[in-house]
Amino acid sequence: MDQAEKAEAFRGLHDRKDVFVIPNAWDVPSSRVFEDEGFPAVATSSAGMLASLGYPDGEGIPWGDFVAAIRRISNVLSVPLSADLVGGFGDNPEEVAKSVRAVVEAGAVGINIEDFAHSAKKLLPVETQVARLKALVNLRESMGVRFVINARTDALRYAPGEAGARLDEAVRRAVAYRDIGADCVYPMGLTDAPSISHFVKSVDFATNVMVRKGLPPVPELRKLGVARVSFGPAASYAAMGLLKRASREVLEEGTYDGLTDGAISFDELNSLAIPRSPA
């Protein structure tokens, strides 16, 4: 598939006919592992990718380094790649659109964008986020790649009020993002079945939930009408947890099972840096 075909294939995964799972990678080898294991698409994890490059989650990384990392991952994948752009790397809709254009030109066919400011830990006004999303919809219409817009809201974490009020605000924002032209909405922090059911029914649109403790298994999410399940940073956490456990085993017990059991080979590791050959 060329990039435009990848974009259409990725868009098709959001048709709500079934739920699909998208893993979030942090570098080239993790991306290839996910593709080789059979996932239909791969996304980046902002937290995982930025930490791997020496930066905390947010927009403190030099922009050129961010785009270069996306390009390296895209270059080795044959499946669609979606890029987590945090808050969009821009102070206004035009700058955000410029950032998204660069990431699409680097090979991504989907983007995640948040509606809160990392530095202040505050939600953006919904009108501000709608203007940013509108700029991305206009950009998509002008490019030859109909990239997928996954509009994230952090209302469940940062909106005022009790849990019910925050859920209502997440629904309100998701409807606004849906109506301006997003392809999927992503209520960060939604994990319990009753709230997921309420959100999906209220928004009546492709909905993304993230893997975390307490999230129902995929078959139940399918019944709840979820369209997309993303790993988020869970795979990064799991990999670092494995390294911590293996390190403790070596230091405390003098054995190496954590490093050898289930490990891939030298040749397999090297192969993950080489683009997959066309079928």
145: in domain: yes
What pLDDT was estimated at residue 56?
95
| Average pLDDT, consecutive stretches of 10 residues, N- to C-terminus, the chain (279 residues) | 96 97 98 97 97 96 98 97 97 97 98 92 96 98 96 97 97 98 97 98 98 97 98 97 98 97 96 79
58: in domain: yes
Cα distance between residue 186 and residue 151, in whole Å: 6
Cα distance between residue 250 and residue 265, in whole Å: 20
What pLDDT was estimated at residue 119?
80
What pLDDT was estimated at residue 279?
52
Cα distance between residue 102 and residue 149, in whole Å: 15
256: in domain: no
207: in domain: yes
146: in domain: yes
Contact 152, 112 (CB under 8 A): yes
One-letter amino acid identity for 137?
V
What pLDDT was estimated at residue 120?
83
62: in domain: yes
Which neighbouring-strand residues pair with 242?
none
What pLDDT was estimated at residue 44?
98
- CATH number of the domain to which 178 belongs: 3.20.20.60
Residue of 115, 141, 111 lying closest to 128 (CA atoms): 115
Which DSSP letter does residue 276 get?
A: P
173: in domain: yes
242: in domain: no
Provide DSSP, 100-150: HHHHHHTT-SEEEE-SEETTTTEEPPHHHHHHHHHHHHHHHHHSSS--EEE
Cα distance between residue 198 and residue 268, in whole Å: 44
Q: How many domains does the chain have?
A: 1
* Containing structural domain, residue 117: 3-232
